[in-house]
Amino acid sequence: MSDTTASSLKGAIEAFFFSKYGLSISRLCGQGYDRASNMQGEFNCLKALILKNNPSAYYVHCFAHRLQLTLVAVTKRNNEVRDVFNFISSIINIVGASCKKMKVIREKQYAIIIEGLENGEISSRRGLNQETSLRRYGDTHWGSHYVTIIHLLAMFSSVLDVLEIIREDGMNSEQRMEAIVLTGIMKSFNFVFMLNCLRRILAVTNEFSQALQRKDQDIENVMSLLKTSKERFKMMREND
């Protein structure tokens, strides 16, 4: 699409789907998109334009997006989980505040990987041990919470080393104090436990989210995957 206005999108849908296959918008049962303003905004969006032609074409979020929004809502209602993600944001903000600090992290992470390869502690197969960076999570970005935790765990010791540097050479007393506090949090049992616990939980939801986004997905397979995901959570709860 060279033009992504709602009217252009509606015209394209009518031309390439409804007209091509002899279908009618008046018989449309439902519609679902992400939360982009041109797709499901309040007034002159694609959703609204279709509803003008057919009030029965009820709108719902795409299932993968609804899963992400549900996870975010649950996260914000649990104090311990919410605190962990707040700490992660603070860690990323202070460590990633300058290119110099990020360079230090990359150098330290590179040294750790080299040492691990030489000691035989990690494998050197294709696609493994690629350069990793700390990434901020976003409430509407599928899987971003999971990716952020995975990257932080992979770079854990390197991030701690940079916080130690900031403790000594921070630009001001506030930054040095924040580094001291965050270092203590990262070294605490509760923080490390929650990181690893969330990694396991979000691994399941991330796998399910990726499956929901497949173009060849069908509802029968989705329900089977949902059942499997629930069983994995049940086993996790009962056995761990």
Question: Burial, 71: exposed, middle or buried (Cβ in 10 Å; 0-12, 13-18, 19+)?
Answer: buried
The whole-number pLDDT of residue 178 equals 92
Sign of CA dihedral 40, 46, 52, 56: negative
Question: Burial, 238: exposed, middle or buried (Cβ in 10 Å; 0-12, 13-18, 19+)?
Answer: exposed
- The stretch 117-133 carries a mean pLDDT of 54
The whole-number pLDDT of residue 121 equals 55
Report, in angstroms and rounded to the nearest whole number, the Rg of the chain calculated over CA atoms: 23
What would the pLDDT profile of 60-114 be if each residue is shown by its tens digit?
776 667 777 777 788 778 899 999 999 999 998 888 766 666 677 767 666 766 6
Q: Kindly indicate the confidence band of residue 127, based on its pLDDT and cuts at 50, 70 and 90.
A: very low
Most confident of 106-115, 152-161, 185-194: 185-194
3-state helix, strand, coil in the chain (%, to 5): 70, 5, 30
Residue 60 has φ and ψ, to the nearest 5°, of -135, 155
pTM, to two decimals: 0.65
Spell out the domain ranges in the chain: 6-61, 67-239
The whole-number pLDDT of residue 27 equals 84
Q: CA 22, CA 14: separation in Å to the nearest integer? A: 10
Identify the CA nearest to 137 among candidates 99, 84, 79, 80: 84
- The stretch 203-211 carries a mean pLDDT of 85
pLDDT score of 167 more than 70? yes
Mean pLDDT across the chain: 80
Sign of CA dihedral 184, 189, 190, 196: positive
The whole-number pLDDT of residue 165 equals 85
Are 178 and 94 within 8 A, CB to CB? yes
Q: For 21, which DSSP code?
A: T
The whole-number pLDDT of residue 131 equals 46
Higher model confidence: residue 132 or residue 56? 56
The whole-number pLDDT of residue 41 equals 67
Joined together, the tokens standing for residue 32 give: 């679902």
Question: Burial, 73: exposed, middle or buried (Cβ in 10 Å; 0-12, 13-18, 19+)?
Answer: exposed
